Every structure is written in C-alpha cells, then in structure tokens.
Structure 1
C-alpha cells in the first residue's frame, strides 16, 4: 500500500495535531483528519482508505495496511456525491501526492461491505469465547437475571419480539420505566445467521461490558457510514437518538 509522503510507514498510531486527552489516567484518544471535510475526529469515527502499489484505492477497515492511508468521516451518500463530482478523486490525489490512482466505481459499496465484515467477524469472535448469547428464550432468562450488558435486534425483528426482550433487559438492569432499548442492527436475520453459522439469528446479547465495547466500536462506525443515527449509551430512543460516534 502507498504511504502519503508526510506520513511515516510505522506511524499508524500517530496523531493528527494534538490528541484529545481523556480525563483521569486514560490514554489520549487518537484523531485523524477527514480528507473530504477537513474535520478532525476520533479515529474510531472514520474509515481508512489505502492504495495498492498499482494505485488501486480500497477500504482498509481493519487498519492493517502499511502507513496511515487516507481517512474519511463522511457517510456513504456523501462519498457517493464526492465521487460523482470529482471531489473524492482530488482529495485522494492530495492525500497520496499522486494522480496515478484507480478509484473503483463501486468503492462506496466496497467500504460498506468491509465495515459489515469487520462487525460480523467481531460477533463471531465473541461467540467463540462464549460472550455472545443467542436464542430468544435464553436471552430473556439471562437478561432478567442481569447477565446481559448489551442487547441487539436484527433489522427485520418483529416489534413485539423486541419489546419483550427490551423489557426483560430493563428488569435485569433495574431500569424499568427508563425507556432503554436494545440496538437495532443494520443487518437482517439472514445476514446474521449466515455470518454466525446458526439458524434464524434475530436477537443477540453480550454477556459483559468488555465484549459490548468491542462490538459497539465497529457497529458505530458502520451505522455512521450508513447515515444512521447512533443511540445514546443507554440505548434510549434507539436509532432516533442523536449521533455520537465517539466512545
């Protein structure tokens, strides 16, 4: 992958400007600058693009390609518009200091597919370590016992099924009447079932806060890219809450 001349090959954790310092003993939050808007945001809120040796621009959702690449904070619709009017090509040319780039017409879809893959891979990892809870009955029982840190529903889950599990989750969290709800995923049951190798995956629960944090990171990035509003940390109002992609 090509590295913009002003970026060192091994400095993928370097910061753009000054990193925002978290309060207390927490580590600084790395920031990146969006090549389209110029806005500086948390690295977790942006998508990384990189160029192959031949100049082919592709998403690097796992952020493993050499160098820091080019970062975008825009939604899919904004990237599609920038690709149509030529702004994306110009921004990438400036980022990589070369006009010898190949930008696939389907780049916006490739980015979406890559972000979904990272999210689903994360779910698969949590399932293998026993942190992912599946099955409506098991989720309901575990939720009432206070054993679920985060609750998720497929995009095509029935409203009745969501409400029942949301209510069980609130009981276990002792937050009845709060309006807290599980997250509605930007994926339907078929996509979840195929990715996890299980039949009819409609609802999912995570057994601890650490697992929830690991899953929410790629989920927020995916939802931001799709232009979906991010719930607040309580899950209140679900997809109608104000967008906030910073952890």
Structure 2
C-alpha cells in the first residue's frame, strides 16, 4: 500500500502527509471553504497550522496572499468565519468517523464492556467524555494497561473536549461516557481524524478535559449535569 503523498502547508512551508493537513477549497462561487475530507472538486490549498496561527495569518493578510499564490488567482472571497467553520468541520469529521466505527461494530461503550475487552487484550484505543468521572476513567485505563502488558506506562486514553450528550448523539447511543476501539485499523482511522482536530484547536489530550489553547472547551461542547459513570443516570440528547 502506497503512503499518502505529501503536501506543503501554504503558511508554514512545512511538508507533511496530506492526511494530517487540512485542505481549503475554492468553490464555484469564488468562496473559500474547509474541505477536511479533501474531496471537493477544483483548486485547493493545504494548511498544517493551528487555529491561533490561522487566525493571525487571516488578520494580517498572509492567508489571502498564500491562497492567491496557491489558487493562481486573486478572484476569491475568504469568509470572516473561515477559522470557526474549519474547526467545526474537523470536529464533525471526527464525530462522523466515530459513528462509522460504531455502525461497523468496531466500537464499544459502557464501562463493563470496555473493561472486559481491555483486560482481555482486545482494546486498541480508549476515549473519555469531557465530563467523565475520573474514577471511572482511571479504572478503565488500568484495565487497558494490564491487558496490553503496559503497566507502569501511565497510559490513560484521551479525554475529548466533548461532553456525553454530543458523543451520545454522534453514536446514536445513550449516555456515552467512555469509548473503546476493539479493531486496530479502526483505532488508527479514529486517531487520524481526532488528531487533526485536536492539533488544530491547540488541544492537549493529556488534560482533563482537553481544552483549546485559544478558546477553552470546544465550541461543540455544552455544559451538562455530571455523574460519575455511564452505569448511572442517563441524559437525553
């Protein structure tokens, strides 16, 4: 299988596999829009910078100049909310990826099911909602370390900047607090989608909850009542 071809970020000049970059597409109406799945027809330009750098480049006119060189035209419009639209598109792409893996049978929710898979060495990735109880997250992480012979590694999984109602809605399940991936290829696909989003918002997944360096919790996140685990009170979405 061939590796994904590299592309050059129009702002930093750095080269990276295109799957780790974000494509900006020039639409037929002359408007620039995020094309996070890189499927839109027509001219495109690639960026690998985070939200803060993109905001600064847009404010100083550097983004427009770089796009003009990439598109080989100055006849386009950069919407005022391009940065926000890019963040939301990346977040939605990550949620869609989780939904696809759920429908494909590669994803588990529910602490008991995840813990059983973890202790049996079948867990390949672990995620927690922003409002997950710390005790429940620690228990599952410990089971994962034991089952994968990684005791002492400090492996905890990733705390997402999204509360359980949004995760529940994305997966079509009730009260999603913890998520486990039991297929290695599925875990890589989810990691690719999540990593692009978290990198863009300047998010450190070791924080609990993970926060954006520029805005705090993700714009998709909404405050919800807190319970300690997904075996307890259920929330409607």
Tell me the TM-score normalised to structure 2 length.
0.82
- Could you tell me how far apart the structure 2 residues matched to 1:156 and 1:209 are? 26
- Could you tell me how far apart the structure 2 residues matched to 1:108 and 1:142 are? 39
Q: Is residue 2:24 matched to residue 1:49?
A: yes
Determine which of 115, 121, 129 is the counterpart of 1:154.
129
Shift of 1:68: 5.7
Shift of 1:67: 4.4
Is the contact made by 2:160 and 2:205 (CA closer than 8 Å) also made in structure 1? no
Tell me the TM-score normalised to structure 1 length.
0.79
Determine which of 119, 126, 149 is the counterpart of 1:174.
149
- Could you tell me how far apart the structure 2 residues matched to 1:158 and 1:77 are? 30
Is the contact made by 1:156 and 1:188 (CA closer than 8 Å) also made in structure 2? yes
Determine which of 64, 74, 96 is the counterpart of 2:71.
96
- Could you tell me how far apart the structure 2 residues matched to 1:47 and 1:119 are? 13
- Could you tell me how far apart the structure 1 residues matched to 2:50 and 2:166 are? 22
Is the contact made by 1:133 and 1:139 (CA closer than 8 Å) also made in structure 2? yes
Partner of 1:208: 183
Is the contact made by 1:133 and 1:204 (CA closer than 8 Å) also made in structure 2? yes
Shift of 1:78: 0.8
5+ unaligned residues in a row in structure 2: which ranges? 211-237
Q: Is residue 2:133 matched to residue 1:133?
A: no
Deviation digits for residues 118-155 of structure 1 (CA, Å, limit 9, x no counterpart): 11111111111111001112111221111211111112
Partner of 2:35: 60
Query: 1:40 and 1:230, CA in 2 relative to 1: closer, same or farther beyond 3 A?
Result: farther
Matched residue of 2:11: which SS? coil
Point out which structure has higher relative CO (alpha carbons under 8 A, 6+ apart): 2
Q: Is residue 2:217 matched to residue 1:227?
A: no
Deviation digits for residues 88-139 of structure 1 (CA, Å, limit 9, x no counterpart): 1111111111111111111111111111111111111111111100111211
Deviation digits for residues 35-62 of structure 1 (CA, Å, limit 9, x no counterpart): 1111112212210000111210000011
Shift of 1:28: 3.6
- Could you tell me how far apart the structure 2 residues matched to 1:168 and 1:89 are? 50
Q: Which runs of 4+ in 1 moved over 3 A?
A: none
